[in-house]
Amino acid sequence: MEQAYKKYRSNPLAIVLFIFAAITLSILSARSISSKIPVIISISFVYLIIMAVGVCITAFILAIPNNELRKQVGMGGLLSLAFNGFAVFFPFAVIAIVSDLMLGWGAAQAITIAGIFTSVSMLSSDFMKAKVSRAGSILLSMLASFIFIILYSSCGIIAGVINVISNLKLNQ
Amino acid sequence: MKLRYIFHPAEILTAPFSVAALLSSFIVSGLAFALFFLQTSLDSGTDHVSTLLKGILFGTIGISIISIFIWLFAKISGSTVSIPAAISAINCSYGTTLIFVLVGLVLHFLLRWSTSVSCGITGVLAALGPMSGVIMIMTKYKKMPAIFIMTFAGLSVILFWGLLNNLI
């Protein structure tokens, strides 16, 4: 695993792809909630924080059964491994851009959720290389995906409610 | 073809090749896209028969062409997988789409919901999950080539669907 970890850590392109995808999906998700630029910027910022928190939580959950990995790479290494793994968000960000700008769907939130599922399952397979049992890894990846998606969806719901309330106040 | 291939299509690449698995995989992707396109025509009110035929053609010939490109890109990054195995594994990845569109059709007929985007497109995106396993094996676990191949696979299906349904 240490060898695999070194390979991921030495790949800054993966981190760049993840940051690009996270920013893109955050902005497109925020755009589907409101059309006002200050609101889009603030909601995007919250989404970005939630994505970072979600990736950290995923890393810690997937590392629970793997003492060996935690000792070898430490907390910083786990996070680095997780952020590299989440580069799988990139295809979903590109699909979200095309679907939003070319096809006119506001489906960024659904696309992000599909991206979270795929990224977490791929990340768990990275952790499985470190001899985590298959059943345990599937259960933990489901738990991590579930927590991440609840965090992400709750942000959308809260932002949507605040947006509706502020629009009602403006209309009054 | 074993039923578990629909949920774990990557296993096709490690199992001995069989013509039956290849033919069954065409049924899986053909049916998935036929029903997905049918959902689109039910939502938009266009001609159901021609849309269904487009779906069957796209699910069989279209996906096979995309699979050949995926195989080619994977070959460049060192894949040793054969074309028939790659086609059957990628076709079977759309088993997830098939489940989503079946649920979408049930919801459409029971509750009159428009489900082509909520269940159809979500189903196509969900297929990227099992497909990522297939692509990772084909690229010998090289993450960067796999990510770019996944982008190509997801994007090409969405764009072709948009083109065939006159959405672009």
| Residues A56-104: tens digit of each pLDDT | 999 888 888 777 777 787 888 888 888 888 999 999 999 999 988 888 8
Contact B158, A95 (CB under 8 A): yes
| Residue A33 CB contacts under 8 Å (≥ 6 apart), including other chains | A39, A40, A43, A156, A159, A160, A163
**Overall domain count for chain B:** 1
Compute the distance between CA of residue B34 and CA of residue B120 in angstroms, rounded to an integer.
11
- Domain holding B33, by residue range, is 18-164
Q: pTM, whole model, 2 decimals?
A: 0.87
- Best mutation target among A103, A112, A125 (most B Cβ atoms within 10 Å) is A103
Other CB atoms closer than 10 Å to residue A3's CB: what's the count? 7
Query: Residue B94 pLDDT > 90, yes or no?
Result: yes
Closest CB to B132: pick one of A14, A110, A118. Answer: A118
Burial code of B28-40, b = ≥16 C-beta within 10 A, e = fewer? bbbbbbbbbbbbb
Neighboring chain A residues of B121 at a CB cutoff of 8 Å? 99, 105, 107, 110
pLDDT band of residue B97 (cuts 50, 70, 90) is: very high
Neighboring chain A residues of B117 at a CB cutoff of 8 Å? 105, 107
Query: Residue A21 pLDDT > 70, yes or no?
Result: yes
State percent of chain B over pLDDT 70: 98
As a whole number, mean pLDDT of residues B66-70 equals 95
As a whole number, mean pLDDT of residues B87-116 equals 91
The closest of A53, A55, A45, A41 to A85, measured between CA atoms, is: A55
As a whole number, mean pLDDT of residues A1-23 equals 73
Query: Residue A1 pLDDT > 60, yes or no?
Result: no
Average pLDDT of chain A, as a whole number: 83
The pLDDT value recorded for residue B112 is 84
Structural domain includes residue B7: no
Distance of residue B125 Cα from the nearest chain A Cα, in angstroms: 6
**Can you give the residue ranges of every domain in chain A?**
2-165
Prediction ipTM score: 0.86
| Residue B157 CB contacts under 8 Å (≥ 6 apart), including other chains | B63, B66, B124
Compute the distance between CA of residue B92 and CA of residue B94 in angstroms, rounded to an integer.
5
Q: Do B144 and A111 touch (CB under 8 A)?
A: no
As a whole number, mean pLDDT of residues A10-21 equals 87
Contact B167, B53 (CB under 8 A): no
DSSP codes, A8-69: HHT-HHHHHHHHHHHHHHHHHHHHTT---HHHHHHHHHHHHHHHHHHHHHHHHHHTTT-HHH
pLDDT tens for residues B144-155?
A: 899 999 999 999
Query: Residue B55 pLDDT > 60, yes or no?
Result: yes
**Amino acid identity for residue A121 in this structure:** S
pLDDT tens for residues A123-144?
A: 887 776 655 566 777 788 889 9
pLDDT tens for residues B27-53?
A: 999 999 999 999 888 888 888 888 899
Q: Do A103 and B167 touch (CB under 8 A)?
A: yes
Q: Do A13 and B144 touch (CB under 8 A)?
A: yes
pLDDT band of residue A2 (cuts 50, 70, 90) is: very low
